[in-house]
Amino acid sequence: MRHQKVLVIDFGGQYTQLIVRRVREAGVYSEMVPWTAAAKALEDRPDAVVLSGGPKSVLEPGSPDLDFGLLEGVPTLGICYGMQLMAHRLGGKVEPARDREYGHQMIRTTSDSALLSGLSSDDVWMSHGIQVLEPPAGTLVSAQTDSCPVAAFEDVSKKLFGVQFHPEVSHTAAGTEVIGRFLFDHAGLKGDWTSASFVQEEIEAIRSQVGSDKVLCAVSGGVDSSVMAALLTKAIGERAVCVFVDHGLLRKGEAEQVVETFSRTFHPNLIVIRASDRFFRELAGVTDPEEKRKRIGAEFVRCFEERADELRDCAWLAQGTLYPDVIESGSPTAAKIKTHHNVGGLPDWMKLKVIEPLRWLFKDEVRAVGRELGLPDDVVDREPFPGPGLAVRVLGEVTPDRVRTVQEADWIFREELRREGLNKNVWQSYAALLDVRSVGVMGDERTYEQPIVLRAVESEDAMTARATPLPFEFLERVARRIVNEVGGVNRVLYDLTSKPPATIEWE
């Protein structure tokens, strides 16, 4: 079955992935493509196109561009840079703004705007220093602000719409209304994409891709790899060989929990490889976070390929890679934030072919797929956990003793969160060990020990996050327990930084 598809053309905007999310949340399948590959992607004639924002000016030589002749007859929504490019290429006038707009703004919409009139709110989110002074001939100026003469324009007959604000971000109060009106009222889409349809279509794709081969499924017990393994098992049965590598970098009691969970849910024949000694050897003396991730990724591959060699007809390695992993590891139009061990951390010498059935999904979509596959809530709703494990929560050298320190502090923090019911709105919570020492006093004696940082964040998809506002008395109690119960720690901090500018993990 061919689903209706919205193609999101990425001009390097920081919110582009949110456009894809919002379209999918409306029940319409969406894919993102960098502007450099847009011409090829448009050959398939998508049902609608969204042009993203971007950091460049359309007036700069060599700035991202597009042949608008390829969009003839295709309903198109331009956002920020996308709107400016549309105006610039279709005969309008674009210039540097006298007054740049960043943050909340109020738009004034015209009563005859097909896209914007009658919205529930006129509060929008702007982020631009270039503006459209005159829209293309034949278009209607549908919104303005005090400093932006063309905050939106439209040509309903040609199904072309441009908005200077960002409807994809939550700060634009009526953003989902704008996107919904474009998709359903003007592009005429039906909304025929669901988690159930994804499951059935991906099962067929897996069977076609792997043929009669066996697939080694790399599982960690987390929601991503669990859903991936369940999907592979449903597609090819016992030819999906689930392997769990205990690398010694898991949370307290987690290795035992993973084995129990898999045995209880859907895959009683889980292969367990105890490999903590070899991972610690690889990490000895390593302090650079990128090097940690690459060494961990390479050691995982060695473990998997050794096991694959023991299995007949096993040519594939299945991973629970998600779209945020791909973005942060560096897409063609996004800067590399950090190499995820399962993306950019894979060695070029590996023999196994990689299959990643969840690669273009966001976390909430993966959870929906997990429920569709019948996985229990305690698996589907599990907090995200990084593939490199506690190696990215132990700043500096990773040793067994330093990992144990983090395990104990992390256990106390998360135990207290559960006890107080404060974990319900938390996306991710953990303790990290810093690679510094500070002076303290215990029992009338001087100490010179390490600090623990606590972090708890709220998020929708890990692309952005804010610190969870935990009660001070709660944090004080957790700090007291950690200092009293965990050796080598004399100070506890709470990380209040949002993402951006920070990341969720410390490394």
Chain-centroid distance, C-alpha 329: 11
What interhelical angle do 289-310 and 276-283 show, nearest 10?
150
CA neighbor of 231 nearest in space, from 373, 371, 366: 373
CA-based diameter of the chain, in Å? 81
Contacts of 338 (CB under 8 A, 6+ apart): 289, 290, 293, 328, 329, 503, 507
Q: Residue 128 CB: number of other CB atoms within 10 A?
A: 21
What whole-number distance in Å separates Cα of residue 259 and Cα of residue 266? 11
Contact (CB, 8 A) for 154 and 92: no
- Given 3, 88, 128, 168, the catalytic residue: 168
Is residue 168 flagged as an active site residue?
yes
- Given 88, 128, 166, 247, the catalytic residue: 166
Could you tell me the CA-to-CA distances from 76 to 60, 198, 206, 390 in Å, in that order?
A: 23, 25, 32, 45
DSSP letters spanning 243-279: EEEE-S-SPTTHHHHHHHHHHHHT-TT-EEEE-HHHH
Is residue 282 flagged as an active site residue?
no
- Given 3, 80, 314, 372, the catalytic residue: 80
Handedness of CA 257, 408, 414, 292 (dihedral sign): negative
CA neighbor of 317 nearest in space, from 430, 238, 228: 228
The residues pairing with 453 across neighbouring beta strands, listed in sequence order, are: 432, 493
Q: Residue 341 CB: number of other CB atoms within 10 A?
A: 27
Active site residues: 80, 166, 168
